[in-house]
Amino acid sequence: MAPKGDNVVVSNIKLERIFSMKGGKGEASYANNSQAQAIHARSMLHLLKETLDSVQLSSPDVPFVVVDLGCSSGSNTIYIVDVIIKHITKRYEASGIDPPEFSAFFSDLPSNDFNTLFQLLPPLANYGAGSMEECLAADNHRSYFAAGVPGSFYRRLFPSRSIDLFHSAFSLHWLSQVPESVVDKRSTAYNKGRVFIHGAEECTAKAYKKQYQTDLASFLRARSKEMKKGGSMFLVCLGRTSVDPTDQGGPGILFGTHFQDAWDDLLQEGLITSDKRDTFNIPVYASSLQDFKEVVEADGSFTINKLEIFKGGSPLVVNQPDDAAEVGRALANSCRSVAGVLVDAHIGEKLSGELFSRVEKRGTSHAKELLEKLQFYHIVASLSFS
């Protein structure tokens, strides 16, 4: 649960202590606002399956271990793990080998709502009642042992050489922290007047890029210790098509326009100070392919099998595109489901509610433009370890 009160500067807190997607099953929860991620993930299944075909199959006497990093609290992670295990099972069967037992680890920060996630897990199939094939065929049952692993994926999470496959979608664009220089008034990178780097000064964007590449290097270093030889990773994170890091594309529209303007509204209405606004920054960086590639190549542990920009589409899923009020609600709920915990910690839940009501109002006024222009691109990377 996020700290309450209005004297908390999120930038100076270890983000991993408080950060998570919004838990529970309410209107603004991640569980009820991750339909876009589900659509985008399904559109990339053919790329995921290419990666699964490259994983070295281990002995059937040893469990095959899958990890979803940044699993959050919705059903998307359960769907993807199911796809992975069914595909790997078919590979074993095609090779004339009985499939092994499967283990799946769902990992996210300690503040993640694991309770909601585990309530969504189907019951375990009865291994003692028959073969693995019968377990896999059992309707509404899972064919793997499940466990939650709390912790930051920018550090070690698992024993050495223990994981066959890492999957991470829509998570690696979240930084481990807002760069300190961005909230330091004495720094040229101080992001005065903004809550995101979209449209910021070049030196601010450079600080974000450095933090992103430092974090990604830490992520790769940890995975290179944990992965079995012949293992693979399938990674999806927000990307951009522009070479200019101050042009964050879709995330820039999400956090750098109406969300930004809502902060300015609170300031103009005397509800917050300029310092309160200027010390809040969204810890997200939409990377270019080059930004990503530089880190992977510098690490040297992984072979890049595929690295591309994939057009995911809009983060707003609405039933009635002509209903401006529904579009406004979708924008506010989309922002709140991913950043609401940070806003609550920074200005308190009451002012946070005021902020997102203004996001909704502004989104309603610009509904048509949002549906036309708010598009996400993703970096899709398939890496193997040998």
Please determine, for residue 138, whether its predicted confidence score (pLDDT) is greater than 80: no
pTM of this structure: 0.89
> Residue 132 — pLDDT band, cuts 50, 70, 90?
very low
> Residue 41 — pLDDT band, cuts 50, 70, 90?
confident
pLDDT at 327: 93
Tokens of 68: 């979803």
Please determine, for residue 134, whether its predicted confidence score (pLDDT) is greater than 70: no
> Residue 22 — pLDDT band, cuts 50, 70, 90?
low
Tokens of 330: 């979708």
pLDDT at 4: 42
Please determine, for residue 29, whether its predicted confidence score (pLDDT) is greater than 60: no
Q: What is the spatial distance between Cα 368 and Cα 366, in angstroms, rounded to a whole number?
A: 6
Domains in the chain: boundaries:
15-242+281-314+376-385
Please determine, for residue 48, whether its predicted confidence score (pLDDT) is greater than 60: yes
H/E run at residue 217 = helix 202-226
CATH number of the structural domain 15-242+281-314+376-385: 3.40.50.150
Angle, helices 349-365 vs 324-347, to 10°: value is 150
Q: Which of 385, 374, 365 is CA-nearest to residue 299?
A: 385
Assess contact for 316 and 39: CB atoms under 8 A.
Answer: no
Please determine, for residue 87, whether its predicted confidence score (pLDDT) is greater than 50: yes
Please determine, for residue 272, whether its predicted confidence score (pLDDT) is greater than 90: yes
Q: What is the pLDDT of residues 287-327, one digit of tens each?
A: 999 999 999 999 999 999 999 999 988 888 888 999 999 99
Strand order in the sheet with 102-108: 145-150, 102-108, 64-69, 163-169, 227-239, 376-385, 302-313
pLDDT at 150: 94
DSSP assignments along 137-163, one per residue: HSTT-BSSEEEEEES-TTS--S-TT-E
